[in-house]
Chain A
Amino acid sequence: MSDSAMTAGSMHGAAMEPSPFLITSRKLTMWLFIVADAATFGAILFGYGYLRFGSPNWTKPFTFSPNIINGLVMTVVLLTSSLTMLCGVAAAREGRSGATMKWLGATILLGVTFAVLHLREWTGMFHEGWSLSKNPMGGSVQVGALFFSITGLHLLHVISGVIAITVIAIGFRARKFTAGHVETTGLYWHFVDLVWMFVFPLLYLLNVR
């Protein structure tokens, strides 16, 4: 008897504890997905560090102009898109459908701009002879392999995000989706932005000649 009184559940009839998780399953799951995705990026960035420090012939492919200037523009574009997303979420919460569409539209536009700038840069590098397995500067082939696979993974996230925001925006306009959906998508978008804040210094700034 006294044994059982010591157990965790012996406070009979106690109400449900005040939940620290006052969020929907959908939002909770997005946070969990972000944790998992952070582990994915963490693993691949660990691989970058591991192979870079193990390469005696690492070459730095970038110069301040045009590469870093381009990268800075991309960074500003992506950071701005987080701001417009934030405004979109706020407008959706207040039920201002028109404003929501405008802000989400701006976010999509900025996301597409980022992707276009990125792909333009990639194409330029392909022309110089860079690829997953080739280094035109004669150094480690890991430079191209790691650059394209890591930025490629990030770009995949950006493109998925643009598609997701488009679907959510259309659904929100049709009153199929709520402000909660917009906010959850926003969480993802901010995470993609945050990842870039690791990718940009590690893959661009550390690789300037």
Chain B
Amino acid sequence: MTMDSVSASITELPPATPHDHAPPESFLRKYVFSLDHKVIGKQYLGLGLIAVCTGMFLSWVMRYHLAFPDKAVPLIGWIAPTFAAGGVITPEFYLQLMTMHGTIMVFFVLTTAPFAGFGNFVLPIQVGAEDMAFPRFNMMSFWVTFVAFAVLVAAFFVPDGPPLSGWTAYAPLSAVGKSSGPGEGLGQTLWVIAIGIFCIGQLLGSLNFIATTLDLRAKGMTLARLPYSTWAWFITSMIGLIAFSVLLPACVLLLLDRVAGTSFFIPAGLVVSDAIQPHSGGSPLLWQHLFWFFGHPEVYIAIVPGFGIISTILPAVCRKPHLGPKVLIASQLAIAGLSYMVWGHHMFLSGMSPSSATLFSVPTLIITIPSAIITLLWLGTIYGSKLRLNTAALFCLGFVSVFVTGGLSGFFLSQPSIDTYLHGTYFVVGHFHFVMGVAAMFGIFAGTYFWFPKMFGRMMNETLGKWHFALTFIGVYATFMPMHWLGLEGNVRRYSSFPSDYMHGSLPLHRFITYSALFLGASQLIFLVNLIWSRFRGPVAPDNPWEATSLEWSTTSPPPFDNFGGVHPVVYHGPNEYGVSGPRGDYIMQTDPPVAAAPAATA
């Protein structure tokens, strides 16, 4: 770089306040097409809430049918008379439910809520910015995601219904069109379009998160002083930037296969419904490679924000500094890098060369090392602390529990020889629901109980919260733990029922799981009641109810439109100043003047 270009670059630096838009007046600008990151964050969380209710309802229908294969499922015959006349669940409809459950949960819950939702609300405040770097892109990102959700849900309302090829949309089932099954016509096309649109929304979001984290930090907010949740969203954005960029062209190629007569994912001589398909030369494995190159990093897009949320809450409830913050960040960066080298472990059964199975097995085992380090850092932080056992803390402890439970079964599945037996069974279902689904959900719950006061200016009810945690924790283990036994017994997944074959003996356990799933779902009503009641009737929240250190707790609850009321915060401390003695007590906020901490500086 020449001197000229350096000086040119410096003069182009943005002013300290990029918040060029005034507080909006109209309803539409304030709540619908808002440019305010706080509103957009809430919109994402709202979308996640709608999606999670939809996804859970679909899982209930599946679970009911698995437990009582001969009985009609209540209500479903009335809700979906064309697909399940009289409440009878056909195998095809079961697969359609499964596909939509997986797609909605992975994309529109586990990606939108912990990453886009909490990230949008909290990240700009935590770095001391007034808004995202590109507020308009931010608004577009949400509405593009919303359109994606609408297109996906529209698949329920087209003649043959939603697709049945699973959330992974394996080709050639997803590629050859109508003849391969109900929902493989327009339903599958809508699915492909929805996921393509979703990629664009998340790419816009990722670009914005990275630019905001790097460019809009307040004075004194060095990278080393970033709160751990911001680090986690930052790392997640870097993962998402590459992952969604690969899924997008894959979706376009799949769409071309479906509508333009190409054969990217369809081999020659394929016979579907007694007809030879007019395709040749394509490879179903190519779809799996492209999909899982996105799909495995996607697991970390769902879980790394949870890491950050837990690491932010734990020091605040333990009242001591987080153990090894630099190791924590380095481990997450290692996970981000390794997440791109392990995708083949989803494909051990695909006919891929056994040598490449080994190639993917080794990094899969290696990636457990940074994950284990992070878990040990949490345990070390909790160890010997004066834990304030509020609901957020309980969900943090629960997160560690379910993450370890789900992670341990990952050791088995990473071995190609063992996976060959377990991959098609409920063992895998138990594994990924624990480590990706439930762990990320516990992160969302912990984040909700922690940041709700900041979002709405009111405290959530702790009694209801603790009941919610206790019942959820029991429900989760009762639902997903028995699936490991089912898997070891050889109970295959994706089947709609096991009425008369060799798996008949598993029916009592399936019934137990179904009762547990209904119980688990019912206990979420406590959460919903708590949300709504606290939103309107909860006690007014102080600025810093948890005596935490990061910047969002230095402003009012909820924060003003520009987050800090015209003040540009200056940061003097890291986010980890717990268990010290300062004028506030046992913690020093990031914006506290340096004088207050003189003893700590000389220690």
Contacts and interface: CB of A to CB of B under 8 A. Distances in A.
B160 interface: no
Contacts of B133: 25, 29
A145 B256 contact: yes
B324 to A, nearest CB: 9
Contacts of A28: 210-211, 214-215
A1 B603 contact: yes
A24 B282 contact: no
Interface in B568-599: 572-581, 590, 594, 597-599
Contact of A145 (B212, B250, B264): B264
A47 B214 contact: no
Interface string B548-586: 000000000000000000000000111111111100000
B541 interface: no
Contact of B211 (A12, A25, A40, A140): A25
Contact of A25 (B215, B242, B250): B215
Interface in B208-240: 208, 210-212, 214-217, 219-225
Interface in A76-127: 93
A21 B133 CA distance: 14
A132 B483 CA distance: 45
B13 interface: yes
B9 A22 contact: yes
Contact of B286 (A2, A25, A50): A50
A4 interface: yes
B28 interface: no
B576 A7 contact: yes
Nearest to A39: B245
Contacts of A5: 600-601, 603
B263 A50 contact: no
A140 to B, nearest CB: 5
A9 B573 contact: yes
Interface string A36-57: 1101101110110011001101
A26 to B, nearest CB: 8
A202 B210 CA distance: 33
Interface in B260-299: 260-264, 279-283, 286, 289-290, 293
Q: Which of A4, A46, A55, A133 has the most CB of B within 10 A?
A: A4
Contacts of A55: 281
A149 B253 contact: yes
What bracket does the count of chain B residues touching chain A fall in?
Answer: 35 or more
A127 to B, nearest CB: 19
Contacts of A46: 289-290
Given A9-B576, A12-B572, A39-B242, A32 B210 contact: yes
B203 to A, nearest CB: 6
A142 B215 CA distance: 44
Interface string A169-180: 000000000111
A15 interface: yes
Given A29-B207, A36-B241, A132-B256, A50 B289 contact: yes
B510 interface: no
Contacts of A57: 281
A152 B468 CA distance: 53
Contacts of B223: 17
Contact of A40 (B6, B12, B246, B262): B246
B484 to A, nearest CB: 35
Q: Which of A21, A24, A47, A178 has the most CB of B within 10 A?
A: A47
Given A3-B320, A178-B12, A133 B260 contact: yes
Contact of B280 (A3, A12, A141): A141
B23 interface: no
Nearest to B592: A12
B537 interface: no
B574 A21 contact: no
B225 A8 contact: yes
B325 interface: yes
B248 interface: yes
A133 B242 CA distance: 29
A43 B248 CA distance: 10
A29 B249 contact: no
Given A132-B256, A141-B280, A15 B220 contact: yes
A23 B262 CA distance: 43
A206 interface: no
A36 B245 contact: yes
Given A17-B223, A43-B245, A1 B574 contact: no
B573 A10 contact: yes
A35 interface: yes
B232 to A, nearest CB: 15
Nearest to B549: A9
A53 B491 CA distance: 38
B10 interface: yes
Contact of A32 (B207, B219, B264): B207
Nearest to A50: B286
Contact of B574 (A2, A10, A16, A54): A10
Contact of B577 (A7, A17, A141, A149): A7
B215 A21 contact: yes
Contact of B263 (A15, A145, A153): A145
B600 A10 contact: yes
B448 to A, nearest CB: 27
B576 A23 contact: no
Contacts of B13: 22, 24
Interface of B: 4, 6, 8-10, 12-14, 18, 133-134, 203, 206-208, 210-212, 214-217, 219-225, 241-242, 244-246, 248-250, 252-253, 256, 260-264, 279-283, 286, 289-290, 293, 320-322, 325-326, 572-581, 590, 594, 597-601, 603
Interface of A: 1-5, 7-10, 12-17, 21-25, 28-29, 32-33, 35-37, 39-40, 42-44, 46-47, 50-51, 54-55, 57, 93, 132-133, 140-142, 145, 149, 153, 178-180
18 contacts: A1-B580, A2-B603, A7-B321, A7-B322, A8-B224, A8-B225, A9-B224, A9-B225, A9-B577, A10-B601, A12-B601, A24-B14, A24-B215, A36-B245, A42-B246, A47-B249, A133-B263, A145-B264
> Which A-B residue pairs are the 10 nearest by beta carbons?
A9-B574, A133-B261, A13-B594, A8-B224, A39-B245, A12-B594, A7-B576, A36-B245, A25-B133, A145-B262
